Amino acid sequence: MTTALDVIDAGPEHAEAIVDIIHRSFGARPTLDPPTTALDETVESVAEALGAAGGLLVERRGEPMGALIFDESRPGALGLRRVAVDPDLQSRGVASAMVGVAEDTAEERGKDGIWLRVREELPDTVQFWTRRRYHPLGRVEPFLELGKTLWVAREVPTPEAMRDLAAKVAELVRHGDLLVLTGDLGSGKTTFTQGLGEAMRVRGPITSPTFVLARSHPSLVDGPDLVHVDAYRLGSAEEVDDLDLDASADKSVTVVEWGAGVAEQLSDSWMSVRIEVRGVRPIDPLGTAIDDGEMADADEAEPRVVTIKPNGPRWVGVPLRSTVLS
């Protein structure tokens, strides 16, 4: 029977246990050039670091198994240092548990993302982080620096609030960006796109492109154009390719409604926007479910929950949470 792991918020009082894990973990790694400085850590240095920003300690049945130290030296981001697992207790989900709690901690502290440094000579370590969607930020010899932008979910009660949310996203987009919108009929995908286009100041009107599949809205202010795509009737990624969106991608922000599973292949980075209706779909005065892709303008429209998830290296370091939640 597996006993659950306990992930503890660590302070200076945990320094002795954590420095022991650091020494055991880093001491078991292959010899590196230059050698790791982790083995120079002392109870005093670890206690000082924990006192400044805190950390995590993983235990099972009171036995220390893993640890990390937080770093708050960068505005808007939470750093992870000395990520360590006891070498005799590997492959038990310790590192994954720490990463999950670390990401929750970053969210609770109002951070936009996480960064850390790993040695390129340790491919298993690099792979561990890349599988969790951490992307390279650059190199600080002898380290590869990785980062991840946290996703955000927000309740949107009205069509006006949906447009306001999209206007905040518009502050972050630039030429070449891809947004993939997902949601039921009538959830507000077109309303979101309208708010995005208005804030980007492109030529309108923006309506659902269901029958023409794609519409281009040129910028009125020398910014990126908006290409609005409806993939509802497209059955495969190959059919998306037939739209020849690559020809305009570099100078545009491309928004693909119903794009999940077919549009992501257009870029190595994209922003996923999922819109979910709380309760039943809005009903118009004639008793018909609203299914034209736009939110109801009536007061009784059900609130939406919009989940925005950045994917790929383009979005690393982007202040998504602080912008969208402001």
C-alpha atoms less than 13 angstroms from C-alpha of 120 in its C-beta half-sphere: 9
H and E: helices and strands count for the chain: 9, 14
Model pLDDT, residue 302: 85
Domains located in the chain, CATH noted: 6-149 (3.40.630.30), 152-321 (3.40.50.300)
pLDDT per residue as tens digits for the range 270-287:
999 999 998 645 444 444
C-alpha to C-alpha distance for 241 and 259, rounded to whole angstroms: 12
- Kindly state the average pLDDT of the residues 189-197: 96
Mean pLDDT for all residues in the chain: 88
pTM of the model: 0.85
pLDDT digits (tens, 9 = 90+) for 237-277: 555 555 556 666 788 999 999 878 877 888 899 999 999 99
pLDDT level of residue 116 (50, 70, 90 thresholds): very high
Task: Tell me the per-residue pLDDT of 144-160, one tens digit each, with 9 for 90 and over.
Answer: 999 999 999 999 999 99
Q: State in Å, rounded, how far the first CA of the chain is from the last one.
A: 46
Bridge partners, residue 182, by sequence: 274
CA distance 34 to 31: 9
> DSSP letters along 112-160, please?
SEEEEEEETT-HHHHHHHHHTT-EEEEEETTEEEEEEEPPEEEEE-SHH
